Chains A and B, each alone.
Chain A
Amino acid sequence: MSLSPAFGRPLASVAITLTGLLLITFVIGRVIPVDPVLAVVGDHAPPAVYEATRQKMGLDQPLWKQFTLYIAEIAHGNLGTSFVTGRPVLEDLERVFPATVELATIAVLFGVLAGVPIGVVAASHHGRWQDHLLRVVGIVGYSVPVFWLGLIALLVFYAKLGWSAGPGRLGIAYDGMIEPITGVILVDSLLRGELAIFRDALAHVLLPAVVLGYFSMAYISRMTRSFMLDQLQQEYITTARVKGMSERRVVWTHAFGNIRVQLITVIALTYASLLEGAVLTETVFAWPGIGQYITSSLLSVDMNAVLGGTVVVGLVFIMLNLVADTIYGLVDVRARRLQA
């Protein structure tokens, strides 16, 4: 069996998607009216220093050449060094991306565990008070700015009640005490048997994850509700009810069983968007994730760092799509047959 049709096509599409994404980001970085050299040398630097830095950054080259050189570097697995800090972008990403993975994973878990049951209950009680109440919960999640909600959550649960740990990934006593393995502190602390650090990390991640997860929950519950409503109006549901099947079985086995594929897409997309990094949540909770990293790099026109971050985000989207496709096969017989 040749591998090329099975893997060649997805690989080519990954390459094209990534190149397109990089090209757009690259062009945006060049058209914004900010001089990248100033971010490196500062406002008071003499012209000789300015010019030398500009040449060192390759900004005297034509745009197409800058881009091709960059792509060639990426193809060799080199994301370059940050213009501003002079550090390898890959090293920075190894530090900030796991922080986002940690936050996003717990947030999406919360979003799914709360959002799916809420959606199902709302749909099965369509038009009744449960439905209205849960819809209000969803609308609040949709419409309240995350920045504000984050600050209020900190004020209430951290400052007033003292139930949650403060902003940041770890308490100051544990700062720098854990040698990274995966970079995800919750995992690393368990791997190293540091239960106190695990507890501290968990106490720090819960509040931002719940705030962030609330938004995913609002989206997931709304989508679950609408998928379920669609199924519950189908004739096979009526048949099942006429056969005397319990309502619980009708809802959870028959109707819910049929929305799983759609739901997986929704969850995968939600997770992907969380993995892009939530700038505002990260800012309020001082969470050193990829969202803050890309944003502050963009503001200082540190394009190597921005492009590096873009590559990671692009890869995350592509990977999650592939994972979702694989799961379809596992839960849906028709998809499995198609794939076979």
Chain B
Amino acid sequence: MKSGPRLARTIRCTTAMAGISLTLLWSASLLAQTPKDTLVVAQNLDSVLTMDPAEALEEGSYQFVPQLYDSLFRYDASADSKIGNGIVQSWSMSDDGMTYRFKLRPNARFTSGNPVTADDAAFSIVRTGLLKKPPVYVLSQIGLTPENVKDAVKTISNDEFSITLSKKYAPDLVIAILGSPFTGVVDRKIVMANEKDGDLGNAWLRTHSAGSGPFELVSWKPNESVTLKAFDGYRAGKPALSRIVFRHIKEAATQKLLLEKKDIDIAMNLSPDQLEDLKSNPSIKVQRSPKGQLVYMGLNQANPALKNPKLWEAMRYLVDYDGIAKAILRGQYEVHQSFWGKGSWAALNTTPYKLDVAKAKALLAEAGLSQGLTVDVNLPSGFPYLQVGQAVQATMAQAGIKFELSPVETRQYITKYRARGQTVVLGFWGPDFVDPQANAAAFAFNPDNSDASTNKGVLAWRNSWEIPELTAKTMQLSYIPDHAKREKAYLDLQSEIQAHSPYIVMFQRTNQLAMQSNVNGLVDGSQVFQIYFGGVSK
């Protein structure tokens, strides 16, 4: 029997060959440089769900829509971070304040070559209403519903269309809502040519693009990559780079290695430790911008022990805001104590609360709770919630409030929260559009506190906070026509919620994007959908 030695020989030969090929590979220089005309971005792409502007309402998908589509209005970095004109060149309001008329920019084209018309813009808004996907929530803030949207939006001419609302909403609010990604204008002809079973092209648009934005979609491979290619005919000029590749790199440590080796241009998800490490690297810079997401605690009012306003106040004094920001969050979040984040208009930036155990103890004694209490805290297990939770747990304990932390996967956290199964939450909230009403309607609005409520998305309902008067007041803020008066009203509302509510708003997120020092022109606004790669060069 010869097979034994033969096998041994084969093993030896193969090992030798493997060795030789390895050496060859190693001796060849492995060039680590991204191509000159391509921007390579490393990012965790787990949460990308769709590329359809009428469907996207989550952070992962939101980011791509503005690259592919021109919305009616958009964030304007040059105009003090205000909402500026997008594909709309000018607009006017009727005397009764209910009909808005929009004129589009001339000469804009879709990637198909078709001209962008008012009919396309009107169709895109109607389509969002009729599709009944998550963005209908944003539309509903100005009274547009799947039932009335078709009658409300009318094409007037080739470059003009109008929207007639049922009430006289504040113009600020209307423009902010129309600056959301869902107004991204889609190419009606192309979309309808790809319609299937009356889906208004939704299945097709999830994985294709038909817009007039600076880029078009080449491919989206879930959990692998998203590739965009520059649109030569973009109305504001062809983007400097001809391709952007977003690679799904889930592990932040891997993102950092790739950045250091210059195999990528931008790392989107580095931790504070990693950013700290990169400080000494002269070829890498970090671009920071405050985002609208807040980290807060909510006390479920269905629990009688948590109903006492003195307890709310005491708990506000039991968080070491500055200590946590400095030691744990290190630039990733800043201290912020009102419900509307800085970087947008009408934000209340006062931070009256500091860690003060003695004061908290006194307040607890007044509340008759000097013996302390134990509460279960529902929180997501990722950064920074668990780390913040542990720090808050330590300071709460100093006044006898025992936090029992139940960290779970984010979706499990949301499932429990939506069913009002929590006692205390420590979590996040981000606005859906760039108007303080987005968060006022979440924190200070609860028209129906019953289990059958149709407003289960709002935080006041989730925390069983019954507030009929505050709800009526918040509703009214949508209708104040004067900008200055409206701003004042929101500042007042924030002060009220800051001092008297079962929420403890603690921090606001800062986006920290690490990139090669030669990368310029990335515009990153205060909302997750306000990121624009069109002007990036390197």
Q: How many residues of A contact B (CB 8 A)?
A: 69
Q: How far is the CB of A103 from chain B (nearest CB, A)?
A: 14
- B26 nearest in chain A by CB position: A163
Q: List 28 A-B contacts (CB under 8 A).
A: A34-B409, A38-B418, A42-B58, A45-B57, A45-B457, A47-B454, A47-B456, A48-B454, A49-B132, A86-B50, A95-B224, A113-B11, A113-B15, A116-B11, A159-B260, A159-B261, A162-B32, A165-B30, A172-B40, A176-B218, A202-B25, A206-B22, A253-B2, A257-B4, A284-B253, A288-B223, A288-B248, A292-B250
Using Cβ atoms and an 8 Å threshold, which residues of chain B touch A167? 249, 254, 257-258
> Are B22 and A48 neighbours in the complex by a CB distance under 8 Å?
no
**Beyond known contacts A159-B257, A172-B38, A202-B25: 7 more, CB 8 A cutoff:** A34-B415, A43-B414, A49-B133, A252-B5, A256-B4, A283-B251, A284-B253
Alpha-carbon separation in the docked complex, A42 to B263 (Å): 33
Given contacts A34-B411, A38-B415, A46-B136, contact A288 B57 (CB under 8 A): no
> Are A253 and B263 neighbours in the complex by a CB distance under 8 Å?
no
B residues whose Cβ falls under 8 Å from a Cβ of A: 1-5, 7-8, 11, 14-15, 18, 21-22, 25-26, 28-30, 32, 34-35, 38, 40, 46, 49-50, 57-58, 132-134, 136-137, 140, 203, 206-207, 218-219, 221-225, 227, 245, 247-251, 253-254, 257-258, 260-261, 263, 408-409, 411-412, 414-416, 418, 432, 454-457
Using Cβ atoms and an 8 Å threshold, which residues of chain A touch B225? 175
Alpha-carbon separation in the docked complex, A286 to B100 (Å): 48
Give the A-B pair count, Cβ closer than 8 A: 182
Alpha-carbon separation in the docked complex, A298 to B250 (Å): 16
Q: Tell me if A69 counts as interface (CB < 8 A to partner B).
A: no
Q: Tell me if A117 counts as interface (CB < 8 A to partner B).
A: yes
Using Cβ atoms and an 8 Å threshold, which residues of chain A touch B257? 154-155, 158-159, 166-167
> Are A41 and B251 neighbours in the complex by a CB distance under 8 Å?
no
Alpha-carbon separation in the docked complex, A198 to B224 (Å): 19
Q: How far is the CB of B273 from chain A (nearest CB, A)?
A: 14
Select A35's contact among B25, B30, B415, B457, beta carbons within 8 Å: B415
Alpha-carbon separation in the docked complex, A47 to B136 (Å): 11
Given contacts A34-B411, A166-B258, A249-B5, contact A44 B432 (CB under 8 A): yes
> Are B132 and A38 neighbours in the complex by a CB distance under 8 Å?
no
Using Cβ atoms and an 8 Å threshold, which residues of chain A touch B8? 117, 252, 256
Q: Tell me if A301 counts as interface (CB < 8 A to partner B).
A: yes
Alpha-carbon separation in the docked complex, A299 to B132 (Å): 25
Given contacts A35-B415, A43-B457, A49-B134, contact A286 B4 (CB under 8 A): no
Select A301's contact among B28, B411, B454, beta carbons within 8 Å: B411
Q: Tell me if A306 counts as interface (CB < 8 A to partner B).
A: no
Given contacts A38-B418, A158-B261, A256-B4, contact A293 B223 (CB under 8 A): yes
- A299 nearest in chain B by CB position: B409
Q: Tell me if A92 counts as interface (CB < 8 A to partner B).
A: yes
Q: Tell me if A264 counts as interface (CB < 8 A to partner B).
A: no
- B257 nearest in chain A by CB position: A159
Select B263's contact among A33, A95, A172, beta carbons within 8 Å: A172
> Are A33 and B457 neighbours in the complex by a CB distance under 8 Å?
no
> Are B136 and A154 neighbours in the complex by a CB distance under 8 Å?
no
- A117 nearest in chain B by CB position: B11
Q: Tell me if A173 counts as interface (CB < 8 A to partner B).
A: yes
Alpha-carbon separation in the docked complex, A117 to B57 (Å): 56
Q: Tell me if A164 counts as interface (CB < 8 A to partner B).
A: yes
Alpha-carbon separation in the docked complex, A41 to B495 (Å): 33
> Are A48 and B132 neighbours in the complex by a CB distance under 8 Å?
yes
> Are B25 and A286 neighbours in the complex by a CB distance under 8 Å?
no
- A159 nearest in chain B by CB position: B257
- B263 nearest in chain A by CB position: A166
> Are A283 and B221 neighbours in the complex by a CB distance under 8 Å?
no
Alpha-carbon separation in the docked complex, A268 to B58 (Å): 43
Select B411's contact among A35, A46, A95, beta carbons within 8 Å: A35
Select A49's contact among B18, B40, B136, B218, beta carbons within 8 Å: B136
